[in-house]
Amino acid sequence: MMEEKKLSDIRAMVKSHERPARTGRKLGEEVFFRSLMNIASVLIVGVMGIILLSIFYKGVSTFSWSMLLEDMGSGFYLNRGGGIKNAIIGSLYLSLSATLLALLVGLACALCMNVYLVRHRRILNAARFLLDLIWGVPSIIYGAFGFSLMVFFGIKTSLLAGIITVTLFILPIMIRAIDEVMKTVPAGLSESVLSMGSTRSELSYKVYLRQCFPGIVTAVLLAFGRAIGDAASVLYVTGESARTPTSLMDNVTTLPVAIYNQINSPHAATQDKAYASAFILTLVILAISLLSRYISKRYQKYRIY
């Protein structure tokens, strides 16, 4: 009985302290921070818009179709005419092969972690930890490392050296993206496939690849976008060339590096070509990102569950 009386006292005490739920100060604070938040978001969208608009504006006014059809030729940076066909083709060769290589190794890695290593929690965690570590390593370091590899193996600057370097650079990105998707495959699915008498490698190919197909495609496009847009990693290893490469051992100038060189040229006309080239590169990147959105939506239905 004592306690009950006390409860009503306590409740009366709390009640007497009660203040209105919404005071001016509280409301003001919320309004203030909410407007800051809106400003932040508007700023982000706005800056994105400004960047795209100015790249497009500058790019469209300097673009000509002949740029896509002609090689640079000698004296390109000295304003002797020429296009960026060799840079575009070179970039495509480089990033397509690097993406393909990284896909092969990356798939194997992701499958290894999700199919074979799942039984060894500690090793798996350690592996993921190491992958997380290299995931954030900036591309310039791969550039420097690729250069020292090149010197070590006695290879000259070439498309091949570029491919190897870029492959190393996009590998962690690729693996992480695929791993994220594969992690979501329910354990029950692989258990039931294994219990039907499949070997682990068959499990990998039949279940994981099919199940994760849209995710893998997205990962490939993500890695390809990184590969084609990066300049710092290939600055050291591909050399320079004014012609479209014809073999793996040819030197090659990639599109981002070409942009960098053009904008640093003292000639206004060459700088203009840099704007046009930047415009082309941005278009390619936007197309890739659109494609990956479309594909990840479209192929959602091929998932088994």
Partner 1 sequence: MNISSHRRTRDRVVTVLTYAAMVFVLLLPFALFVGLAVKSDLLFREHSLGDLLFSSVWRPSSGEFGFKPFIVGSVYVTLLAMLISCPICLLSAIHITQYAPTRVAKVVTTAIDILAGIPSVVYGVWGMVGVVPFVGKIAGWCGIQSNGYSILAGGIVLSIMVVPFILNILMEIYRTIPRELTEVSLSLGATRWETIRDVLNRKALPGILAAFGFGFARAFGETMAVLMVVGNVVKIPEGLFDPGYPLPALIANSFGELGSIPEIESALMFAALILLVVVLIFNATLRWLIIKAERY
Partner 2 sequence: MESNMNQGKEGRNIERPFAEGESIIRVDGLNLHAGKTHILKNINVEIPKNKLTVILGPSGCGKTTLLKCMNRLTDLTPDIKVSGNIYIGEQPVFGSKTDIVALRRKMGLLSQRPFPLPMNIYNNIAYGLKLRGKYTRAELNELVEYYLRQVNLWDEVKDRLRSPAVRLSIGQQQRLCLARGLAVNPDIILADEPTSALDPVSSEAIEKQFAALSKDYTLVMVTHVLRQARRIADYVIFMYLGEVIEMRPAQEFFDDPREEQTKKYLAGAFN
Name the residues that contact partner 2, by CB under 8 A: 4, 6-8, 10-11, 13-15, 17-22
Give 191 or 202: the residue with its C-beta nearer to partner 1.
202
Could you say which of partner 2, partner 1, none residue 60 binds, taking C-beta under 5 to 8 angstroms by partner kind? none
DSSP 112: I
Contact 211, 285 (CB under 8 A): no
Q: Is 243 exposed, middle or buried (0-12, 13-18, 19+ CB in 10 A)?
A: middle
Output the six-digit token pair for 25.
Answer: 């100060």
Alpha-carbon span 110 to 116, nearest angstrom: 10
Output the six-digit token pair for 279.
Answer: 């415009």
Provide, rounded to whole angstroms, the least separation between the CB of residue 113 and partner 2.
30
Give 103 or 160: the residue with its C-beta nearer to partner 1.
103
Count the neighbouring beta carbons within 10 Å of the beta carbon of residue 33: 10
Provide, rounded to whole angstroms, the least separation between the CB of residue 26 and partner 2.
9
Provide, rounded to whole angstroms, the least separation between the CB of residue 15 and partner 1.
13
Could you say which of partner 1, partner 2, none residue 20 binds, taking C-beta under 5 to 8 angstroms by partner kind? partner 2
Could you say which of partner 2, partner 1, none residue 14 binds, taking C-beta under 5 to 8 angstroms by partner kind? partner 2
Buried b (16+ CB within 10 A) or exposed e, 116-144: ebeeeeeebeebbeebeebeeeebeebbb
Give 7 or 44: the residue with its C-beta nearer to partner 2.
7
Provide, rounded to whole angstroms, the least separation between the CB of residue 249 and partner 2.
57
Provide, rounded to whole angstroms, the least separation between the CB of residue 17 and partner 2.
3
Give 2 or 268: the residue with its C-beta nearer to partner 1.
268
